[in-house]
Amino acid sequence: MTPPHREPSPRTPYALTVDAGSRDLRAADHLLRALAAELDLAEGVFGCTHLLRDERPRVAVSLAPETAAELDDLRARLVARGYEVGEGTPDPVGRAVLYRGADRLRGTTTVGELLSGSAIDRVTVLGAPDEPAFSVILVTNDHVRPQWQDGELVLAAMPAAGGTLAPFEVPEPTPCCADH
């Protein structure tokens, strides 16, 4: 059964980008979590990673508070810590690490609990034409990284054992050709 349509939650138009030269997603995730702790960021702040594919490939991070006043304060605190801060985001498809409810997505949950308890708007399943039912179990692996798609925060999931789902992105991916 497909869950009923849910309107996307409102999003902030305010964002800043920090390019600290992170070489991979893990380093950028760590930077976002460190900034959240150091700056005591509110739970409503979005923190995303963005792949920069220029002559020096790397991963930048963006932070998006809810108001312009918070943005100005956040900019000042980042600059005071020595970060170069850019306006906006490098692209509209960031991979969310910090978002409302992210820290509570541990162990197993249902799709319905995930949608009602976090900023995630939709769950899609690779290879499936419809969204999963609210009652379907999601095994989070303590690593839930949705991405922005057309203004919605969307979690890509894949079928897992026992009729459950798991986030498509795994916490410890096996490098290509790891057994060679």
Render pLDDT for 86-107 as a digit per residue (tens, 0 to 9). 999 999 899 999 999 999 999 9
pLDDT tops 80 at residue 147: yes
Tokens 């309107």 correspond to: 7
Eight-class DSSP state of 116: H
Q: Tell me if 154 sits within 8 A of 160, measured CB to CB.
A: no
Q: Specify the higher pLDDT residue, 173 or 132.
A: 132
Average pLDDT of the chain? Answer: 89
As a whole number of angstroms, the distance between CA 33 and CA 24 comes to 15
Q: Residue 9 pLDDT more than 50? A: no
Per-residue pLDDT at 66: 85
| 69-85 tens-digit pLDDT | 899 999 999 999 999 99
Q: Strand pairing of 152-159 and 122-125? A: parallel
**Residue 104 and residue 54: Cα distance in Å, rounded?**
35
